[in-house]
Amino acid sequence: MLHRSHNRAKARLEIHAPVFAALGDETRLALVVKLARGQAYSIAQLTEGSRLTRQAVTKHLRVLENVGMVRCRRTGRESLFELDPKPIEEMKEYLEYVSGQWDQALARLKAFVER
Amino acid sequence: MLHRSHNRAKARLEIHAPVFAALGDETRLALVVKLARGQAYSIAQLTEGSRLTRQAVTKHLRVLENVGMVRCRRTGRESLFELDPKPIEEMKEYLEYVSGQWDQALARLKAFVER
DNA sequence: CTAAAATGCAACCGTATGGTTGCATTTTCA
DNA sequence: TGAAAATGCAACCATACGGTTGCATTTTAG
């Protein structure tokens, strides 16, 4: 059972890099925090409070959309964006895998030293 | 207590973006996986199996080092790199915060609808 | 119907990024 | 001591990235 989650995490490593990259920007990181509040926000709403242009924010939103962290639906004259938590769960799985491996390595080292 | 972890995560948001960016590259992602095995690896060892140049791998390692995910010590004629799990823990905290907010938002929505 | 609101589209720009090549430096070991 | 191993340093290159500006399009509301 531990073996299964191991393979699952390893099989999906390729998918993760672009998702991590999407969060590798302060603006996008902040957007995700705002979107995590659960509502759907228009581009104008998401631009408000930022020192950036609306178009800059739009670009960031498209990046998030392309990696599947955000979904967009047109409603009237505005585009509403809302979070999709699945990629975040995948990132958590990856990090759990890495730190799990690390912890096991430390445990083996400890057992070896104490022998 | 839930309120405290909320503020802690929010206070450190600036730190996280470069760390996420560091994992936003397939090569670095793979390096971290390898380093999670717990040993210290030389540059030559980490280059082995990759299609990249040693210098390319070195650059990636410096990136990981600059965000604190990896430490380097010179031993004889080789540079040994090993993982530092703290930044990974910080990323996990951030993701926990975001998905936690999201879950709470969904719960509020559910409570509202069922009223 | 028309003006304002919200967005889309596209060109453009400076800089960061990922990668290479070439050469110098330090350590090891026979 | 001298060659091979492991790395460091630096220049260079193409392209991706973050951001802006300008203008066209669609929707709303008076």
pLDDT at B114: 79
Across the interface, which of B17, B39, B98 has its CB nearest the CB of A24?
B17
Band (pLDDT 50/70/90 cuts) for residue B12 is low
Average pLDDT over chain A, rounded to an integer: 90
Average pLDDT over residues A12-30: 88
Other Cβ atoms less than 10 A from the Cβ of A6: the count is 13
Q: Is the pLDDT of residue A11 over 80?
A: no
Q: Could you give the residue ranges of the DSSP H alpha helices within chain A?
A: 2-11, 13-22, 26-35, 43-47, 54-66, 86-114
Q: Which nucleotide is nearest to B26 (CA to C1')?
A: C18
First-to-last CA distance in chain A?
28
Record the pTM: 0.89
CB pair distance less than 8 Å for A33 and B16 = no
pLDDT at B110: 84
H/E stretch holding B21 reads helix B13-22
Cβ-Cβ contacts under 8 Å, B99 against chain A: 36, 85, 88-89, 92
φ, ψ of residue A45 to 5 degrees: the values are -60, -40
The set of strand D positions with any atom below 7 Å of a protein CB reads: 5-10, 17-22, 26-28
CB pair distance less than 8 Å for B24 and A29 = no
Band (pLDDT 50/70/90 cuts) for residue B11 is low
Which of B10 and A18 is assigned the larger pLDDT?
A: A18
Could you report the per-residue pLDDT of B26-67, keeping only the tens digit for each? 999 999 999 999 999 999 999 998 999 999 999 999 999 999
Q: Is the pLDDT of residue A13 over 90?
A: no
pLDDT at A10: 56
pLDDT at B54: 98
pLDDT at B8: 56
Q: Is the pLDDT of residue A81 over 90?
A: yes
Q: Specify whether the CB–CB gap between A23 and A64 falls below 8 A.
A: no
